[in-house]
């Protein structure tokens, strides 16, 4: 993995960082497309897939997003922590 997704890491309960890294390596090693990789890894995180946004409620959250993801789907950029 790389980019913003790699900068924001909080493995889900009981999962070690090493275990999450191994899952990421397995997905990358098999040629898994990024949107499929992110769909799996969101479930192994406390912050991905909108979970950071939910943790910040009721505060107002503003996201400034720069992307190199084709088509710019917000849930794919950085694994969508605030979507």
**What are 13-39's pLDDT values in tens digits?**
899 989 988 998 999 899 888 778 888
* Strand (E) or helix (H) holding 54: helix 51-56
pTM (2 d.p.): 0.75
Q: Which residue has the higher pLDDT, 61 or 9?
A: 61
Consecutive H or E run containing 28: helix 17-29
């Amino acid at each position: 993995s790389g980019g913003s997704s790699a900068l924001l890491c909080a493995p889900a309960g009981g999962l070690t960082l090493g275990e999450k890294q191994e899952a990421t390596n397995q997905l990358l090693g098999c040629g898994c497309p990024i949107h499929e990789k992110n769909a799996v890894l969101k479930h192994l995180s406390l912050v991905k897939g909108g979970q950071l946004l939910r943790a910040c409620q009721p505060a107002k959250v503003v996201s400034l997003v720069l992307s190199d993801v084709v088509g710019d789907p917000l849930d794919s950029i950085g694994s969508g922590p605030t979507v």
